[in-house]
Structure 1
Amino acid sequence: MLRPTVPSAIVPSTVAKYRAKTCSRATRRYGRSTTKKLPQDVNPKGVFACNELDLKEVQVYGFDYDYTLACYKPSMDYLLYNLGRDMLIQKYKYPEGIGNLEYKKDFAVRGLHYDIEKGLLLKLDSFLQIQFGTVYRGLHPVPDDEVLRLYKNRIIPIAYVEAPNKHSHDGPHRTKMVQLADLFSVPEMGLLCNVTEYFLRNHIDYHPEILFRDVKNSVQSCHPIMHGMVVQNVSEYLEQNQDLKRFFVRLKKANKKMFLVTNSPFHFVDIGMKFLVGDDWKDYFDVVIVQARKPKFFTEESRPLRIYDEVNKTQLWDRVTKLDKGAIYLEGTVKQLQDMTGWRGHQVLYFGDHPYSDLADVTLEHGWRTGAIIKELTHEISTLNNPKFKENANWLQMLTGLIEEHQDYEGPDVQTVLDEWIKERDKLRNEIKRVFNEQFGSVFRTYHNPTYFSRRLFRFADIYMSTITNLLEYSTHHTFYPRRGVMPHEYTSYFV
C-alpha cells in the first residue's frame, strides 16, 4: 500500500492549529488567541460508581475497620516500618547496619507487584503489561532494555501473576509475583526495597523470595506491638473524622442496620472507635465481629463464632445461636452471619479498603453490594484538579492524535517533525506520571491504561470514594449511575 505524500509545511501548520486549541502554552508558542477550555474539577468528596447502585435497596451497611472507618496518619507507616526493620535484626539476625535505614515515605504506592524470583518491584497495567520506568531493584530503576532481557516480553503471562481460580486474595498459591494491595503493605514495600539496596551496596548475596518472606513476616508479626502502641497514644496515629458519628446517626435515623467485621482485636478497635465516635460507639452497630480473619471469614463455612468477654478479656466456649446487639463476637463465617440475621444479597452494602480480602468474595459469591474506601483518591484528585496537569493531559491527548493521523505521510522533513512530536509525547507522559509519585506514578493508571489494581477495584467495587463520610454528600435513597464509558470504536461518533 502506497503511503500518502504531504508537503512538509503542512505538518508544522497542523501542530500549530491543534496546539492553539489545547492550552495557553500553545497561545504563547504559536501566537494564537484561542484556547481550549480545561475540564471541570473533580469533586474531592465525590462517590464514584463502577456499577449502578440504588441506596433505596440497601437496608444493611457493613464496615471493615482499618483504613475504612479508621484512617491512619503517616506516623503509622513509620511505626510499622521501624518495628519491621528492628524485628529483622532481632528475630532473623539481619545485619545490624540495616538499623540505620530510614523509611522513605513517598517511595512506593499500593497495588505494585513484587517478583519473588527476580527480586523486583514493578507496576503492571490491566493487560498485565509492565510499565517501563517503574521496575525497581532496591531503590534504583531497572533500565528498559534489562527489563526486556529479564522477561523476554513486555507482557507478563497470566500464570506468572495469577494462580488458577485465584480471584480474591493471597493464599497458598505459588505464583511468581505477589501483589501488595493494601495500605499496610506500603511501609512493607519500603522496607523490602531499603534492605535490598543495602544488600546490593554491600555486596551481600541474598535470595529474593527469602527476603520477601522475612520482611512480610516481620511486619505482620509486629502488628500486636503496633496495636499496643496505638492504644496508648491513639491521637498520634489515628486521623480524627468529626463527620463519622453524624454519618452513623443518619443511617440509624433512616432505620438502616449496621455491622462491623474486622480482622483487628477488640481492644484496638474499641479504643479507636471511642476516639472517632465516642464511648457509645457500639450502640450504632447491630453486630460486631472482631478477629474475623478475612478473607477466611468470607470463604470458610464451618468455623464457629465465639463470644468475647470484655471484662475478662477472653473467649467464651458457649454455643452461639443468635447475634445479640451489644455483644462482641470473633471469628465465625459470613454464612453464619447471613443465617442468623437474614441479611442477604443486594440489601447488604459492605465497605472495605482491600479489593480482594474485603470485597471480592462477598460480591462474587454472596451478591452483596460493595464500596471501596481508597484513601489515595485525595492526592490523586488534587493532582487531577491542578491546571498545569489538565493542560499537559489535554495536550498529550492532542499530540497523540497528531502522531496517529500523520504517521503514514511521507515527504521532506515529515519524519523529523514526527520524531519531535514523539519525543515531546514521551517527555509529557513522564511528567504526568511523576506528579503522582516520582517512582511509580498514579495508583490508578499507567501511561494510558488502568493499572492492575484499578482493574480489580472496578470489578469488585460498585462504588468507591476517599473516605466513608463522603456519603454524607448524598441522600440515603440516592442512586449512583456509572458514566457511559466510550469504547474505542465509539470515540469518533461521540467526540468530533
Structure 2
Amino acid sequence: MSHNNSWLQKDRPRSEVRTGRLTLCWTLQSKHVSTSLTTTRTTTNTHLLISLQSFQKLTAHAQSHRRCSSFNLELRDLDSFLKMTTSWSDRLQKYADLPANMDGLAMKKYRREPYHRVFVNRSLAMEKIKCFGFDMDYTLAVYKSPEYESLGFELTVERLVSIGYPQELLSFVYDPSFPTRGLVFDTMYGNLLKVDAYGNILVCVHGFNFLRGPETRERYPNKFIQRGDTERFYILNTLFNLPETYLYACLVDFFSNCDRYTSCETGFKDGDLFMSYKSMFQDVRDAVDWVHFKGTLKEKTVENLEKYVVKDGKLPLLLSRMNEVAKVFLATNSDYKYTDKIMTYLFDFPHGPKPGTAHRPWQSYFDLILVDARKPLFFGEGTVLRQVDTTTGRLKIGTYTGPLQHGIVYSGGSSDIVCDLLGAKGKDIVYIGDHIFGDILKSKKRQGWRTFLVIPELAQELHVWTDKSSLFEELQGLDIFLAELYKHLDSSSNERPDISTIQRRVKKVTHDMDMCYGMMGSLFRSGSRQTLFASQVMRYADLYAASFINLLYYPFSYLFRAAHVLMPHESTVEHTHVDIDTESPLATRNRSHCNDCKDLDCKRNHLTRSFSEIKPPNLFPQTPQEITHCHDEDDDEEEEEEE
C-alpha cells in the first residue's frame, strides 16, 4: 500500500482513476481515512466530491443495519460508477467557486411536490439516525375518514343510550365538517373552544351555536382561559377525539333546546334532577373508553378492513428500505391480536417490497415489536416487559430479560428498554406517530428522541392553501392599502383615516378562508393567529407531514434543514442598508461596530499597560474564532471527530 501523498497537491485533479480503483480526493485538513489505495490525513468537515452514500451503495452491504465509519472500497465496475456520479459531479462543479460568486447567483430552491413534502421545525440529518420507531393507529394504519369516525360516533351514542341517555340521541349522524383536532372542552360551561398557545379564545361554540364576541365575553370576560386548569379544560388533541368532539356539541345542543329540559349556566335540569356539563363530560369519556377497550369498535373494524383502513402498496417498500440503513421497531398501545390482524392486512400483497419479490410476513419488516405499550407511561417508568405467544396471543409468564430476538413480539416495556435492546440512545431514534401528547411530546421531553408527527389533515390544509390563494393575496393587498393610509402620518397628525371599510373586508375574507377548512376553520390558525395545536406541532415535532410515506421521496442521506424562523423585525424589514439612528440613546449598543471595536482595543491596551503587574489572567473575553454556537443541529459527534 502506497503512502505517497504527492497526488493530493492543489494542482491535481479532484478525482483520479487508477486501474479499476478509485482514489478519493477531498479538501484537506486532518483526519485518518483508510482506502484500498492510499492512507492519508484528510478531513470530513469539508465537502466530499463524491457523496458518501454513493460509495455505500457500491459496497457489498457494508455492515448490515449500520453505516460504515471507514472506506475500504474496490470498484470492479468503474463504468457504472462513473455514470452514476456524473450528474452529481457536474452539480458540484457549478458551485466550485462559491461563495465568491454568490452576489451574481439567482436561484430558486428546489422543493418536492407539496403533497410529497416533509416539513421541518428542527434540522435533522437522516444519516445520523440508527432507528426508526412507529406507532400503529393512524400512523402505519390510517383509518378512513369519515367512515371510521362515524363508526366510533355511533357506538359511543349507543353506549350512552344504554346507560340511560335519551333515545333521541340515536338520530344524530356524525358530521365531519364540524370538528377539528386541538379544540378545548370547557367542562363548566359546556363550550367547545378553539384557542391559541396562550389561552386566548379564537372560536367559542355552545352546542351548534357559534358565539359572537359579546356572548363569549359573558362567560370569559377577557376571552382567555387558564390552559393549566386541566380539571376544567380538556384538550381534544387526537384523531380518536374527533367523534367525541362532535358528540359534545350534539349533547349540549340537545339538552339546551329540548323542551323537556331546563338549561342552566353549568348544566341542565330534568324536573328535580340536575346534570352538570362536568358529569356529562365524564359520561362521554367513560363511554368512549368502553367502546375502545370493551366494546365492538375493534371487532367491527377487523370485520370490514377494506371499509375502515387505508392500504398503501408503498408501505412495504419504504420499511424494507429503512431496514437496509437502520433498525425499525413498532411500539403500539394496541393488543397483539388486533395488531396482528391490522398489520397482516396492511402487508397483504402477493409480492414482497417490490413486484417480483417473495411475499414476507409483516413481522419480518421490524427488528423489535412491542404491543400493549401503554404510552405515554411507556416513555417514563413503563411496564414489565413480557413475551407474547403469537399462536394464542397470550402473555408468557415472567419478565423477559434476554437479548433482542428478531421476529419475537413483546408486551409492555419502556423507552429505556427499547434503547437497550436496540443499542441506541435518544437522538439516534426518530419516533413516528400521530398523537401529539402520547407519541411526540413525551418521547421528546423524557427521552430526547427525534420526532415525526403524522398529520393526515395536512393534505386538506395544503389544498386550501394552494386552491384559495386568491383570498390570501387579497388579504396581503388589504394590508398594503392599510399601510398606505397611514404612510405620511406621525404623532403630530390630527388626521384620522377611515379604515372601517378595510377592517370589515379583512374580517369577511378571513371568515371565507376559515370556512374553506370546515366549520371550526383551519387546524393551524384562525386568521393571522396560530392555534394551540400549531404551537405544539412547532414545539415538539422535529418533522411533520400528511403521511410518513413521504419519506420515500427523500434519500436516507438527506439533511432536513429548518427554515429560519423570522421575528416581525426580520420578516418585515428588507435587507437594505440602514444607517444607525445617532440620536437614539441605544445607538452605541451596536457591539460589532468597527469604530467601537478600535476604541475598545485602545482602551484594552491602555489598561493592560497601566495594570500590567496586577491584571487578572484574562482581562477581556475574546471573540470566538471557531464555531461554538449551536445553529441548526447537534453536531457533537462530528466536533469530537474533527478534534
Is 1:218 matched up with 2:298?
A: no
Does the CA-based 8 Å contact 1:51-1:482 persist in structure 2? yes
Are residues 1:153 and 2:197 paired? no
Q: Which residue of 1 aligns with 2:613?
A: none
* 2:505 aligned with 1:424: yes
Deviation for aligned residue 1:41 = 10
| Structure 2 residue 357 is the aligned partner of structure 1 residue 275 | no
Shift of 1:248: 0.9
TM-score by length of 1: 0.84
Distance 1:115 1:42, change over 3 A: farther
Structure 1: runs of 5 or more not aligned: 1-39, 164-173
Instruction: Say whether 1:311 aligns with 2:381.
Output: no
Q: Which residue of the partner structure matches residue 382 of structure 1?
A: 463
**Paired residue secondary structure (1:343):** coil
Query: Are the structure 2 counterparts of residues 402 and 183 from structure 1 closer, same or farther at C-alpha, using a change threshold of 3 Å?
Result: same
Q: What SS does the corresponding residue of 2:513 show, helix, strand or coil? A: helix
Deviations 1:192-212 (A, max 9, x none): 111111111214223111111
Aligned to 1:372: 453
Residue 403 of structure 1 is matched in structure 2 by 482
> Given residue 149 of structure 1, which amino acid in structure 2 is its aligned partner?
E
- Which residue in 1 is equivalent to 2:228? 162
The structure with the greater share of residues assigned to helix is 1
Rounded Cα–Cα distance in structure 2 between residues aligned with 1:331 and 1:340? 14
CA distance in 2, matches of 1:463, 1:397: 28
Q: In 2, distance between residues paired with 1:430 and 1:191?
A: 25
Query: 2:536 pairs with 456, 462, 480, which one?
Result: 456
Note closer, same or farther for the CA distance 1:197–1:178 as it changes in structure 2 (3 Å cut). Answer: same
**Would you say how many aligned residue pairs link Structure 1 and Structure 2?**
434
Q: Are residues 1:104 and 2:104 paired?
A: no
1:411: how far off?
Answer: 7.8
| Preserved CA contact (<8 Å) 1:265 1:290 | yes
User: Could you report, residue by residue, the CA deviation over 1:329-356 in whole angstroms, capped at 9, with x for unpaired residues?
Assistant: 1122212222333221211110000111
Q: Is the 8 A contact 2:433 2:454 kept in 1?
A: yes
Q: CA deviation at 1:379?
A: 0.5
Where do residues 236-315 of structure 1 align in structure 2 (5 Å cutoff)?
236-254=307-325, 256-278=326-348, 280-301=361-382, 303-315=383-395
SS of residue paired to 1:435: helix
- State the alpha-carbon separation in 2 of the partners of residues 335 and 365 from structure 1: 10
Query: For residues 488 and 308 of structure 1, what CA distance do their matches in structure 2 show?
Result: 55
Secondary structure at the aligned position of 1:300 is classed as coil
Larger radius of gyration, structure 1 or 2? 2
Structure 2 unaligned blocks of 5 or more = 1-110, 262-267, 269-274, 349-359, 577-643
**Residues 234 and 271 in structure 1, CA contact (< 8 A), matched pair in contact too:** no
Q: CA deviation at 1:63?
A: 0.2
User: Could you tell me whether the CA contact under 8 Å between 1:321 and 1:340 is conserved in 2?
Assistant: no
Establish whether residue 201 from structure 1 lines up as the match of residue 273 from structure 2: no
Q: Give the counterpart of 2:154 among 76, 79, 82.
A: 82
**Alpha-carbon distance between aligned partners in 2 of 1:47 and 1:338, rounded to the nearest angstrom:** 26
**Pair 1:338-2:419 in alignment:** yes
- Larger RCO (CA under 8 A, 6+ residues apart): 1
Q: Deviations over 1:414-461 (max 9, x none)?
A: 644x11111111111111111111x21100112112210011111111
1:64 equivalent in structure 2? 135
1:21 corresponding residue in structure 2? none
SS in 2 for 1:350: strand
Q: Quick check: 1:435 aligned with 2:435?
A: no
**Match of residue 171 from structure 1:** none
**Residues 403 and 422 in structure 1, CA contact (< 8 A), matched pair in contact too:** no
- The answer to whether residue 470 in structure 2 is matched with residue 391 in structure 1 is yes
Residue 447 of structure 2 aligns with an amino acid whose one-letter code is: H
Does the 8 Å CA contact 1:352/1:373 hold for their aligned counterparts?
yes
CA-to-aligned-CA distance 1:344-373 (integer Å, 9 cap, x gap): 121111000011110112212211111000
Backbone CA RMSD of aligned residues: 1.9
- Distance in structure 2 (CA, Å) of the matches to 1:213 and 1:66: 24
- Determine helix, strand or coil for the equivalent of 1:357: helix
Partner of 1:446: 526
**Are 1:469 and 2:549 an aligned pair?**
yes
Q: CA deviation at 1:154?
A: 2.2
1:117 maps onto 2:157 in alignment: no
Q: Is the 8 A contact 1:42 1:384 kept in 2?
A: no
Distance 2:334 2:483 in 1: 52
After superposition, give the CA deviation of every residue in 1:385-405 in whole Å (9 maximum; x if it has no partner): 11xx21211221231243245
What is the Cα deviation at residue 253 of structure 1?
2.5
Whole-Å separation in 1 of the counterparts to 2:464 and 2:500: 29
For 1:204-260, what per-residue CA distance to the aligned partner results, in whole angstroms no more than 9, with x for missing partners? Answer: 223111111111221221114111111122111001111101101111232x10000
SS at structure 2 position matched to 1:440: coil
Tell me the TM-score normalised to structure 2 length.
Answer: 0.65
Residue 404 to residue 231, structure 1, CA distance change in 2 (3 Å): same
Match of 2:209 among 108, 130, 140: 140
Deviations 1:305-326 (A, max 9, x none): 1112122221111320133221
Q: What is the alpha-carbon distance in structure 1 between the residues aligned to residue 479 and residue 280 of structure 2?
A: 42
Partner Cα separation in structure 2 for residue 405 and residue 127 of structure 1:
32
Q: Quote the Cα distance in structure 1 between the aligned partners of 2:113 and 2:367.
A: 35
C-alpha distance 295-73 of structure 1, shift in aligned 2 (>3 A): same
Classify 1:251/1:42 alpha carbon distance in 2 versus 1 (closer, same or farther; 3 Å): closer
Residues 67, 353 of structure 1: 8 Å contact kept: yes
